Amino acid sequence: MQVIKIMAAACVALAASAAMAQVAGGDTSSAKIALSNNYAGNSWRQQMLKSWSNVADTAVKQKVVAAAPSFTTAESQATEQVQQMQNLILQGYKAIAVDAVSPTALNGVIKQACGAGVTVVSFDGIATEPCAYRIAVDFQGMGRMQVDYLAKRLNGKGNLLEIRGLAGVSVDDEIHQGIVDELKKYPGMKIVGSVHGDWTQTVAQKQVAGILPTLPKIDGVVTQGGDGFGAAQAIKAAGRPTPIIILGNRQEELAWWAEQRKSGYGTMSVTIPPGASSFAFWVTQQVLAGKKMPHDIRMPVLEVKPEELNAVLAKTPTGALANKEYTRDEVVAVVDGKK
């Protein structure tokens, strides 16, 4: 009987061990990792850079890696980011995490980096070069989620205003495609106007204010993040009733939602967390440490549900976003399908 108990315990322990994600333990203490970023003109990008610094600086202090600085281009131009990455290759960085200016513009320099033995991990703004690792959020799914929510709230009928992101970036194209595709399910709903808000409140407010005089009644606003509050301000200034505006987890959006909710207003808030950079950092470190990774990795979006609003808002500083910064174990668990 005792032998059976021991064997059973061993089987349980083995099963538990198999269920655990496998962190690679290769020595990366001498490796330099860089972040190449093409744009920092909104609160999401600024917090993304801060999340990178929070995780990377700690990893450097703990001698997990030798260095992990971030570099941002001044003009968000492809030629500038190409030159930036070429410099990083020459400076001996073993890996580069990149938020790419476009899906294809960096493919040449990424291929050059791979040829020089440099690991490249793209995230948020994804690059299509096959040698790069790609950390993708289901941005099309995020677009579909918005449409389905509005369809339910509007009983499948209504006029929508679409606020897009930064033109030419893969994120903008993906969310837009998800919205367009999902609208095919709801013939009673249509986009009656579209502007680019550049994921920035002030730009979105200006662009929405400019197009509103040409539009009929708006029932819902589909967005990409950083634009919901700006849209609300423009619509209020125009003296129009407030439609259902999808929000993107910015503090000012969540605070506005909390205030509107006192009068029964309902909506949803969802976006990729700025902590995506921390996810990219640990994927990059783990590839260098010898972990076998798929070249296409999926990370989750961050949704703030109505019942979570007050708690999330209370811990989100002014000018910031609801966020999630990932640990190495959490990243490996996602990659290994354990989370």
What would the pLDDT profile of 45-89 be if each residue is shown by its tens digit?
999 999 999 999 999 999 999 999 999 998 889 999 999 999 999
Note whether 166 and 61 are same-domain residues: no
145 lies in the same domain as 125: no
The dihedral through the CA atoms of 91, 93, 94, 99 has a sign that is negative
pLDDT value for 171: 87
Burial class (CB in 10 A: 0-12, 13-18, 19+), 127: buried
| 89 falls within a domain | yes
Nearest Cα to 130, choosing from 112, 111, 117?
Answer: 111
Over residues 142-162, the mean pLDDT reads: 97
Percent of the chain whose predicted confidence (pLDDT) is above 90: 86
For tokens 């967390």, what's the residue?
A: 273
Residue 180 placed within a domain: yes
- In this structure, the answer to whether residues 158 and 263 fall within a common structural domain is yes
Domain check: are 150 and 264 in the same one?
yes
Is the confidence at residue 1, as pLDDT, over 80?
no
Note whether 165 and 199 are within 8 A (CB): yes
CA 92 to CA 57: how far, in whole Å? 19
Say whether both 120 and 144 belong to one domain: no
Is the residue at 224 inside a domain? yes
List Cβ neighbours of 86 (8 Å cut-off, separation of 6 or more). 109, 112
15 part of a folded domain: no
Question: Residue 114 is part of a domain; what is its CATH number?
Answer: 3.40.50.2300
DSSP string, 131-192: TSEEEE--HHHHHHHHHHHHHHHTTT-EEEEEEE-STT-HHHHHHHHHHHHHHTT-TTEEEE
Confidence of residue 238 (pLDDT cuts 50, 70, 90): very high
CB within 8 A of 266, min separation 6: which ones? 153, 244, 306
- Give the max Cα distance, the chain: 82
pLDDT band at 20 (very low <50, low <70, confident <90, very high): low
Both tokens assigned to 206: 């200006």
Q: In which domain, by residue range, is 104 found? A: 33-137+273-303+321-335
Answer whether residue 137 shows pLDDT above 60. Answer: yes
The whole-chain average pLDDT of the chain stands at: 92
State whether 167 and 224 are in the same domain: yes
pLDDT digits (tens, 9 = 90+) for 258-286: 999 999 999 999 999 999 999 999 999 99
Domain boundary among 252, 271, 290: 271
71 and 51 in a common domain: yes
28: in domain: no
- 125-129's contacts with Cβ under 8 Å and 24+ in sequence apart are 125/38, 125/98, 125/99, 125/100, 125/101, 125/169, 125/170, 125/171, 126/100, 126/170, 127/98, 127/100, 127/103, 128/103, 128/104
| 45 DSSP 8-state letter | H
Q: Tell me the residue type at 208.
A: V
Output phi, psi for 134, to 5 deg: -125, 120
The number of distinct structural domains making up the chain is 2
Domain-located, residue 23: no
Give mean pLDDT, residues 161-184. 94
> What pLDDT is recorded for position 315?
94
- Residue 169 shares a structural domain with residue 238: yes
Cβ neighbours of residue 334 closer than 8 Å, sequence gap 6 or more: 279, 297, 298, 299, 300, 326
pLDDT at residue 15 tops 50: no
The reply to whether 241 falls in a domain is yes
Q: What is the pLDDT of residue 9?
A: 40
> 89 and 189 in one domain?
no
| Chain centre distance of CA 254 | 18
Instruction: Answer yes or no: do 180 and 90 share one domain.
Output: no
Same-domain check for residues 131 and 277: yes
Cα–Cα nearest to 219, from 266, 158, 167, 163: 158
Task: Judge whether 225 lies within some domain.
Answer: yes
Strand arrangement of the beta sheet that strand 244-245 belongs to: 189-196, 158-164, 220-222, 244-245
Domain check: are 158 and 222 in the same one? yes
pLDDT over 70 (residue 12):
no
Q: pLDDT for 196-219, tens place per residue? A: 999 999 999 999 999 999 999 999
Stretch 217-233: mean pLDDT: 95
Residues in the chain: 339
Residue 89, CA atoms < 13 Å, CB-side half-sphere: 19
